[in-house]
Structure 1
Amino acid sequence: MSSATMSITKHKGLLELTRVLLLQQTMASLLESLMQVVQSAGIAEAVTLVLFDNNSDRVSFYGIDPHHQPINYEDETLLATGPVHTLRNNPKTQVWRSDALNLRYPQLAALNLYPSFTDYCLVPLLATSGLLGGCEFTRQHPRPFSDDDQAGLHELCMLAAIAVEQIQLRENALFQQSLLRHERDDFRILVDITNAVLSKLDLDELTGEIAKTIHHFFHINAISIVLCDADKDSEQASVYATHYPQMHVAEREQSRMMLAGSLEREVMTSGEMLLTNLQPSKEDESEESTLFKLLWQDQTKTLCILPLRFGHKTLGVLKLAQCQPDNFNSANLRVLQQIAERIAIAVDNALAYQEIKSLKEKLQHENLYLTEQINSNNPDFSDIVGRSSSMSAVLKQVEIVAKSDCSVLILGETGTGKELIARAIHNLGDRRDQRMVKMNCAAMPAGLMESDLFGHEKGSFTGATAQRMGRFELADKGTLFLDEVGEISLELQPKLLRILQEREFERVGGNKLISVNVRMIAATNRDLQQMVADKEFRSDLFYRLNVFPIVIPPLRERPEDIPQLVKFLTYKIAKRMKRTIDSIPASTLRHLSQMPWPGNVRELENVIERAVLLTRGTVLDLQLPELNYPLTTLPVVEPLVRSGPAAHLSDDDERDRIIAVLKETNGVVAGPRGAAQRLGLKRTTLLSRMKKLGIATH
């Protein structure tokens, strides 16, 4: 045993020294113990450790400053190329005078890690696992390390190597435990988020649950889901944003944003996460979230944007903003990336569910509208009966306009067959293989008309328990027939005009633009020009609808068509009722041709249906006394005003005509025997005319 070793063990027994060193649990406490030993033995004043990393060229430095605070430093260049580099290749003790050491390794002095010294000794730390590094001893008073000193330090470092190895094993075990604990916590977070989001199929509920869960685990202030439109060429996206101005107090908003030139588009294109800071003075003025500006405008924010990709599809991004950047450490970012992968799966599921739901709803509504049309006994194009010159002219107009795609306005009294003409235009056009969706504006309550036309979002009004598709969406690529278009309210007319001009609209309660390609056919029994003059109908909408007007003449103006119509209707109705009627008396046809038919073809059909029902043989029995008016006493009354290009009567002639008809009806305006019915006008229109012409009502 060397004198140096005897000096060390003299002050501290070998077994006690071994026990003390092996009890140390940190490098700092081990250094304190080693320093006490060498200082007590008078061998050195300071002790430091330089340890290798088995997986890299990194060298770790452990020391103690004058205030007994630990010094830790890691390096791959300066330390690694110092004396320890020689030690790695030749594990032998090195001794240096300070001048020679600083001259050979000037970078060590630049690190400012060592206390001032005159002599330096580096002893290898050899353990069962191999070379761990070295233990450095320094002296502050000029005295070289003798052979005995080196031998004693070598014996001491054999014990120190065992202690270092144990500390490293312990630290590695604690690190692995920490990793496992973090992995377990991360796994729990992932399981909780996966269970929370995958069970949500409604996009609103899904985005809300995502924000709630991320805020709960990471305390992030602002969470947004930005989803691309289904149209690949669209540069617009929907934003579902949730902000937490206070802990657990959420404020939500939905908005739209343009993707061109945005950070969101950059992340979608690259498929890589983006982490950046937003300064209050440098915020993008086009920031899509008004709440984002309002709540966080004066604060520096750290922004994290993660791509939402599923398979080969880029669905959008998960956008997180935090005023405390510590939340975006490497561990959290790793978990957030895994969360984004699961969110992408949930979003894809929700979008698929939404598409399936939309298609299902579309089919349900199509079935509903088809059932409506079947139940209303709507005939097809072949049911247009008429050889008169006026009807021939109408059918020629139908053939001309059917091949185009322009809007058509069908004008005519109630019961003249406006829907038949609309269906003929559709069936003869290029959209014949698509749907023709019908809406009777007069039968729809004003409060529900907008929702029925344009659809609505869930929760947009009381009773809106689900998203609903409107008739414009159902008629996409087909034809929309708006019957009684004159009944649309003034408030709704601008929205109808917009879709006719721009072919896009928003659902009630929604902010997403929906594009459609719909051919418009409208019909009315009202005088739209007069309504425009009376400020009851917008002139711009009238001009947009009135691109190609078709006027259907009333039945009384084409009496030559009545015999053919009677035969056709008798055959059709008898077949439906499973009756056999093979003849119609000539007198019946003559009498029917002489009637004014204020209800037009619809009234004629009702009369024939009643006659077929009451007929007991095979000859049609009209039972004339059952009619509401005598066949031969009522004059044939021309309509007061014809829609379309027909000339208007002068005020004097119009006044005389109204007075004459009022006398015949004993002053009755409304009802089946009233003046309005005979004149082919609505009650309100006739009253308006009477007021204008100074005709008193009784």
Structure 2
Amino acid sequence: MNDVKKLSGKKIRTIPISNEEWNKHLIAMINSGVEPELLEFFHQLKDERDEYRILVDITNSVLAHLDRDGMVAAISEDIHRYFAIPSVSIAFLDGGNAVHFPVIHCLWKEGKGNYCEQKNYPLAESDIQNRLQHPQAVALNAETTEPLLHDLYSVGMQVALLLPLTFNSHSPGILILAHTDIGAFTPAVCSLLGQIASRISIGVDNSNAWNEITRLKDALKQENTWLNEQIQNAESLNDIIFQSTAMKNLLRQVEIVATSDSTVLLLGETGTGKELIARAIHKLSPRSAGPLVKINCAAIPASLLESDLFGHEKGAFTGATSTHIGRFEMAKGGTLFLDEIGDMPLELQPKLLRVLQEREIERVGGHQVIPVNVRVVAATNRNLKQMVEEKTFRSDLFYRLNVFPVEVPPLRDRPEDIPPLVTSFTRKLAARMNKTIDTVPAAGIQALCRYPWPGNARELQNVIERAVILTEGSTLNLQLNELKIPPAAAPIATVHVTPRKLPAMFNPQTPENDDDERARILQALRETNGIVAGPKGAANKLGLKRTTLLSRMQRLGINTREL
């Protein structure tokens, strides 16, 4: 007899007995005058052997594939080989989409082989879910109202057998077998196909689980990428350093708009710190517990920007091997920062407008409408009004973005912010490079205040970074020859701004001038009787290192002997 074994817990194998061997046994039994009852039993064993072989082969095909396309193609090939059924389809009803359900069709044509394709059918126009209760054969004709069955009729099928795929008390889909012969599905064939459907149910359920794991893995990978971007680009909110009236006025606007959920448009030259302002808006908003997701519309090719924003479904285009979650879905419950919005391709702008108006998206290659709960902050260094006049930016999108415009002033219009920025950049970059730099030449700061800074704060940071790299001692080695700074017409007076009560993240930092610093050091030295080092020394009292205090005393001309 045919022996059925389970090997390694993975696949089921049979030790096949060929038809020739069965026929030899049958002829020998007939020649030996075996009773008809025994011959009938022998035929029954042969039929059972054939059924086992079919079930084992199809089970192996199911276990060998986790992806839907490969599984359906393998199952279709087995069913066609054993039953000559020309059309095999599986409808996936896993509840993942309330609008459409996918069906993978495999059609066999005489002499041309087979081809498989996936098609989505509208759930509202289909009664496919009502057919999940019992297996049923349906005669096909031109009047069939079911879109899926009508498509089968249009390729020459006359009858379809619908077999629910039930596993663990739920139905992940339906196996649909169609034939050109109206009498193809006999009771015996239907019985065996029912057993096949129960095995396919396990495969479909596993495939759905694998798709969900793949989706979550893709989402986690994208989230990790986003978190790495945040870690690399993150600036402390306390790094909004200012002492100018222009920045005070700007941050008042930030405080006001942050508490609303309105779209904000940040305008300003490159390098002015628009991303820092976007972070501040998010941090002060009711959405601060949610993610802040950034996308640079100028850094992503136009062909990929739509997928990056809205996501795409598996198979939407060549290379789309899995479902991709876009930035709008990643920013759920938080803020989406659209940087360089002026560089968004014109053909993509209507889709962004629809999202802003309807608060819903559709992934590329998908038909499901996905609601999004996102606050949008956009930024650009381009003149959008002029672009609207030149027809290179849609006017309706501009008006939708321009709900609350915020102009970030350039650095040349707020030179009083340069000294604290220089101090902050020096401290951070020196710490990053494991250097101790505690002195910035006053003449260098005055020269920096005279420069127009076309690259704004970003250019200033680059100049300071170069100076820190070249510094070998404790005094910042500024290299200003390449900046072509105009000569000073008169000494620049320090601008003092009375601080208004703002959040801690907006505390202005006023630099200490030499006279104030000299007076503070002298007072500490008098209180410690001229002792510089030690637990009772002036350095400890001032919160400075001994070498730092000695360096400042030397620069300011302070001698303990003169106290």
Q: 1:219 aligns with which of 78, 84, 92?
A: 84
Aligned match for 2:355, one of 476, 483, 499:
499
- Structure 2 residue 64 is matched with structure 1 residue 199: yes
Q: 1:544 Cα deviation (Å)?
A: 2.8
State which of 352, 372, 395 in structure 2 corresponds to 1:539: 395
Could you say if the C-alpha distance between residues 196 and 624 of structure 1 is closer, same or farther in structure 2, counting changes exceeding 3 Å? Answer: same
Alignment of structure 1 residues 549-560 onto 2, 5 Å: 549-560=405-416
Q: Could you say if the C-alpha distance between residues 184 and 484 of structure 1 is closer, same or farther in structure 2, counting changes exceeding 3 Å?
A: same
Rounded Cα–Cα distance in structure 1 between residues aligned with 2:94 and 2:350: 26
1:300-359 Cα distance to aligned partner (Å, 9 max, x none): x22222222221332121222223132211122122222222222111211211222222
The correspondence for 1:330, drawn from 187, 192, 204, is 187
Question: What's 1:574 paired with?
Answer: 430
Identity score, percent: 51
TM alignment of 1:438-517, pairs within 5 A: 438-456=294-312, 460-461=316-317, 464=320, 468-510=324-366, 514-517=370-373
Partner secondary structure for residue 315 of structure 1: strand
CA distance in 2 between counterparts of 1:257 and 1:515 reads: 21
CA shift, 1:537, in A, is 1.1
1:350 equivalent in structure 2: 207
Deviates more, 1:349-358 or 1:501-510: 501-510
CA distance in 2, matches of 1:290, 1:497: 37
8 Å CA contact 2:159–2:180 kept in 1: the answer is yes
Any residues of structure 2 matched to 1:297-308 within 5 Å, and which?
A: 301-308=158-165
Q: Which amino acid aligns with 2:139?
A: N
Q: Deviations over 1:385-422 (max 9, x none)?
A: 22333322332333333334333222111001111122
Structure 1 CA distance for aligned equivalents of residues 404 and 144 of structure 2: 52
Verify: 1:262 aligned to 2:119, yes or no: no
Aligned partners of 1:405 and 1:179: how far apart in 2? 74
Q: 1:313 aligns with which of 162, 170, 177?
A: 170
Query: After TM superposition, which residue ranges in structure 1, 4 or more long, deviate above 6 angstroms?
Result: none
SS in 2 for 1:243: strand
Greater radius of gyration (CA): 1
Alignment partner of 2:152 out of 292, 300, 303: 292
CA-CA distance at 1:170 after TM superposition: 5.5
The 2-side partners of 1:289 and 1:489 are apart by: 41
Aligned length: 457
- Alignment of 1:382 with 2:259, yes or no, is no
1:225 and 1:304 mapped to 2: Cα distance?
A: 12
* Contact map agreement 1:245 1:295 (CA 8 A) in 2: no
Match of 2:481 among 602, 625, 643: 625
Asked if residue 433 in structure 1 is aligned to residue 293 in structure 2, the reply is no
Give 3-state SS (helix, strand or coil) of 2:155's partner. Answer: helix
**2 CA distance for matches of 1:370 and 1:591?**
39
CA separation of 1:465 and 1:272: change in aligned 2, threshold 3 A:
closer
Query: 2:140, 2:150 within 8 Å by CA — same for their partners in 1?
Result: no
Show the counterpart of 1:19: none
Q: Tell me, what secondary structure is at the counterpart of 2:346?
A: coil
**Do structure 1's residue 595 and structure 2's residue 451 form an aligned pair?**
yes
SS at match of 1:182: helix
Contact 1:493–1:538 (CA under 8 A) maintained in structure 2: yes
User: Secondary structure in 2 aligned to 1:481?
Assistant: strand
Please give the secondary structure, in 2, of the residue aligned with 1:320. Answer: strand
Distance verdict in 2 for CA 1:381–1:411, change over 3 Å: same
Aligned to 1:339: 196
What secondary structure is seen at the aligned counterpart in 1 of 2:104?
Answer: strand
Q: Which amino acid aligns with 1:228?
A: L
Q: Does 1:236 align with 2:97?
A: no
Q: Secondary structure at the match of 1:622?
A: coil
State TM-score, norm by structure 2.
0.73
Q: Distance in 2 between matches of 1:357 and 1:185?
A: 37
Distance, in Å, in 2 between the alignment partners of 1:430 and 1:179 is: 73
Residue 618 of structure 1 aligns to which amino acid in structure 2?
S
Larger RCO: Structure 1 or Structure 2 (Cα < 8 Å, ≥ 6 residues apart)? Answer: 2
Q: Does 2:477 align with 1:611?
A: no
In 2, Cα distance between equivalents of 1:174 and 1:557: 104
Partner of 1:283: 144
Contact 2:94 2:171 in 1 (8 A): no
Give the Cα separation in 2 of the matches to 1:520 and 1:171: 83
Aligned to 2:225: 368
Going from structure 1 to structure 2, the CA distance change for 1:465 and 1:353 (only over 3 Å counts) comes to closer
What pairs with 1:394-413 in structure 2 (closer than 5 Å)? Answer: 394-413=250-269
**Distance in 1 between residues matched to 2:487 and 2:117, nearest whole Å:** 68
Task: Give the 3 Å change call, closer, same or farther, for CA 430–215 of structure 1 in structure 2.
Answer: farther
| Structure 1 residues 261 and 622, CA gap change in structure 2 (3 angstroms) | closer
Distance in 2, Cα, partners of 1:428 & 1:497: 26
| Distance 1:448-1:424 versus aligned 2 partners, 3 A rule | same
Helix, strand or coil for the counterpart of 1:492?
helix
Equivalent-residue separation in structure 2 for 1:501 and 1:205 (angstroms): 40
TM-score by length of 1: 0.60
SS of the residue 1:596 aligns to: coil
Superposed CA RMSD: 2.9
Q: Any stretches of 5+ residues in structure 2 without a counterpart?
A: 1-32, 490-563
C-alpha deviation, 1:506, in angstroms: 4.4
